[in-house]
Structure 1
Amino acid sequence: MWPWGHLAVAYLVYSMYQQRTDQRPRALPVIVLAIGSQFPDLIDKPFAWSFDILPGGRTLTHSVFFALLLLPAVYLVALRFKRSDIGTAFAIGHVSHLLADIPPATLLTADGSALTFLFWPFLEPPAYESVDGILAGFLRYSMGWYEWAQLGLVLGALIVWYRDGTPGIGYMKRSVTHLAEKAV
């Protein structure tokens, strides 16, 4: 799944979670959610595609074993700052990323061979087409049915985000303005 698809899935799940608790999504947790939704690819893709450190773009931070270490640590740090909402947002972003990376065909055929990335390093990740760096991955982008479905998710998430009051926009504007004023 592409970054915008991961962000859309994470936001939709988070918005539903917040509705369950009768709260609207708030700025800082939504920003942390966005980071969590991209985190596995921000680590694995460069280390595999650009630096040849990892054997594939879905290995270390795409593993449930890594998540079992990372998510409690993030949550404990969030609790230390009395912001469990931020720990929850990161966890929803991260876990939704892992689940969204499960190929749709796997769900339709019940063929678990494409799920081995979730159990790295104990299982080898599925063979993927080799990519010569992140830029090359983007340059080979093409629109098939799966990409159109992701675009639909993005549009749906944008509608929900707008309905939720565009959380994060005001916070980001204030932060940029504050940084600009400090620079002058």
Structure 2
Amino acid sequence: MWPWGHLAIAYLCYSIARYRLRDRPPRALPVIALAIGSQFPDLIDKPFAWSFEILPGGRTLTHSVFVAALLLPSVYLLARRFDRPDAGVAFVVGHVSHLLADIPPNAILTADASQLTFLVWPLLPPPPYEEVDGILAGFLRYSMGWYEWAQLGLALVALLVWYRDGRPGLGYVRRSVTIITRKTA
């Protein structure tokens, strides 16, 4: 799944949960943590597999439920320690939605569990994965099929929901960028 597909699924899940549980839109810092959580597995696994050839595939280490079982409680406890439990929950939602969204649709339709082995890596080898010569090559080689168009449509829906929610996180990012650019100028 493409980054915008992961982000869209994570945001829609989180926004719906916020409204159902708290009857409020998401807040800025949790949305930023959600965005990071939704991309985290690929930010680690893809470069270490495709560019540095340290991992055997782009869905291994941080796509594994074993790493999630250690990482997610740690992130939540750290967020609580800094009195930001909502940010911890948001990261967890982003990460878990990423793992679930990486399950190929045909694995669900055909009940083919062999495509789910990435979830229990290193106990089982990752599913056969097309080799990629670096991150840029992976992006340039990819083509748009029905699945990619569906992700793009989902991203547009999520963008509309994010806008309706008041664009949480945008002001926070703008302020941070302004502070950074002032310090470097």
- The aligned residue for residue 102 of structure 1 is 103
Matches of 1:56 and 1:79, distance apart in 2: 33
- The aligned residue for residue 128 of structure 1 is 129
Divergent runs of 4+, >6 A: none
Matched, 1:182 2:165: no
Aligned-residue offset at 1:173: 1.1
Matches of 1:51 and 1:10, distance apart in 2: 28
Matches of 2:131 and 2:105, distance apart in 1: 21
Secondary structure at the counterpart of residue 74 of structure 2 = helix
- What TM-score do you get using the length of structure 1 for normalisation? 0.97
- What TM-score do you get using the length of structure 2 for normalisation? 0.97
- The aligned residue for residue 59 of structure 1 is 60
Aligned-residue offset at 1:124: 0.8
Give deviations 1:137-184, integer Å, cap 9, x for gaps.
001021100001101110110011011011111111111122223334
Please, what is the CA RMSD of the aligned residues? 0.9
Aligned-residue offset at 1:37: 0.5
For these two proteins, the number of residue pairs brought into alignment is 184
Aligned-residue offset at 1:80: 0.4
- The aligned residue for residue 32 of structure 1 is 33
Secondary structure at the counterpart of residue 118 of structure 1 = helix
Matches of 1:167 and 1:43, distance apart in 2: 26
Aligned-residue offset at 1:23: 1.9
Structure 1 unmatched runs, 5+: none
- The aligned residue for residue 118 of structure 1 is 119
More deviation, 16-25/145-154? 16-25
